[in-house]
Structure 1
Amino acid sequence: MSSSCVSSDAPHRRFNLLKGEWVLVSPHRNKRPWSGQQEAASAEVKPRFDPGCYLCPGNTRNNGVTNDDYEGPWVFDNDFPALLTDSPEGGTTGDPLFRAENVRGTARVMCFSERHDLTLPELPVSEIRKVVDVWAEQIEDLGARYDWVAVFENKGAVMGCSQPHPHGQIWASDFLPNEVTREDACQARHLAETGEVLLLSYAAAEASKRERIVVENDDWLAVVPWWAVWPFETLVLPRRHVLRLPDLTGPERDGLADLLKRLCTRYDNLFETEFPYTMGWHGAPTRAGLWDHWQLHAHFYPPLLRSATVRKFMVGYEMLSEAQRDLTAEQAAERLRSLPELHFKSKGQER
Structure 2
Amino acid sequence: MKRTITTLADGRELLYFDTDDAAVHPQRDPRTLPAVSTTSQLRLDPLLDEWVMMAAHRQNRTFQPPVESCPLCPSSAGNQTEIPSPGYTVAIFENRFPSLSTAAVPPEADVDHPLVPVRPGFGRCEVVCFTSDHHARFADLSTEQATLVVDAWADRTAELSTLDGVEQVFCFESRGAEIGVTLGHPHGQIYAYPFVTPRTRRMFEVARAHRERTGRDLHADILAAERAAGVRMLAETEHWVAFVPAAARWPVEVHLYPLRRVRSIPELTAAERSDFAALYLDVLRRFDRLYDAPLPYIAAWHQGPVADEQELGYLHLQLFSVRRTADKLKYLAGSESGMDAFITDALPEDIARRLREI
TM-score (ref. length: structure 1)? 0.76
Q: Distance in 2 between matches of 1:72 and 1:272?
A: 29
- CA distance in 2 between counterparts of 1:135 and 1:87 reads 24
- Tell me, yes or no, if structure 1 residue 326 matches structure 2 residue 336: no
- Which blocks of at least 5 consecutive residues in structure 1 are unaligned? 1-46, 340-351
1:84 — aligned with what? Answer: 101
1:53 to 65, 70, 80: 70
Matched, 1:246 2:246: no
Q: Of the candidates 84, 93, 117, which is equivalent to residue 67 of structure 1?
A: 84
Give secondary structure in 2 for the equivalent of 1:233. Answer: strand
Say whether the 8 Å CA contact 2:234–2:356 is kept in structure 1: yes
Q: Secondary structure at the match of 1:187?
A: helix
Q: Which residue of 1 aligns with 2:156?
A: 138
Whole-Å separation in 1 of the counterparts to 2:298 and 2:78: 24
- Relative to structure 2, which stretch is displaced further, 189-198 or 255-264? 189-198
Of residues 104, 113, 116, the one that matches 2:134 is 116
Deviation at 1:74, TM superposition (A): 0.7
Q: Which amino acid aligns with 1:77?
A: E
Say if 1:54 and 1:60, in contact at 8 Å, map to a contact too.
no
Amino acid at match of 2:221: S
Provide the rounded CA distance (Å) in 2 between the counterparts of 1:253 and 1:84.
30
- Equivalenced residue count is 289
- The question of whether the paired residues in 1 share the 8 Å contact of 2:262 and 2:314 is answered with yes
Q: What amino acid is aligned across from residue 79 of structure 1 in structure 2?
A: R
Once superposed, what is the RMSD of the aligned Cα atoms? 2.5
Q: 1:142 to 1:311 in 2, by over 3 A?
A: same
Show structure 1 runs of 4+ deviating over 4 A.
59-66, 92-96
**2:71 maps to amino acid:** Y
Alpha-carbon separation, structure 2, partners of 1:125 and 1:115: 16
**1:306 is aligned to 2:290:** no
- Residues 69 and 184 (structure 1), Cα distance of their counterparts in 2 relative to 1, 3 Å cut: farther
Structure 1 vs Structure 2: percent identity of aligned residues? 31
Amino acid in structure 1 at the alignment position of 2:187? H
Paired with 1:336 and 1:167, the residues of 2 have a C-alpha distance of 24
- Cα distance in 1 for partners of 2:81, 2:308 equals 42
For residues 200 and 238 of structure 2, the distance between their equivalents in structure 1, rounded to whole angstroms, comes to 28
Task: Judge conservation of contact 1:190–1:197 (CA < 8 Å) in 2.
Answer: yes
Amino acid at match of 1:324: I
1:205-254 Cα distance to aligned partner (Å, 9 max, x none): 11111111123212111111111111111111111111100000111111
Question: Partner letter of residue 322 of structure 2?
Answer: P
Cα distance in structure 2, aligned partners of 1:103 and 1:140: 21
Structure 2 distance, partners of 1:319, 1:299, is 20
Question: Equivalents in 1 of 2:337, 2:252: separation in Å?
Answer: 19
State the Cα deviation string for residues 171-212 of structure 1 (Å, max 9, x = none).
112211211211222222222322222112211211111111
Which runs of no fewer than 5 residues in structure 2 stay unpaired? 1-65
Deviates more, 1:148-157 or 1:310-319: 310-319
TM-score computed with the length of structure 2 as normaliser? 0.75
1:118–1:166 CA contact under 8 A, matched in 2: yes
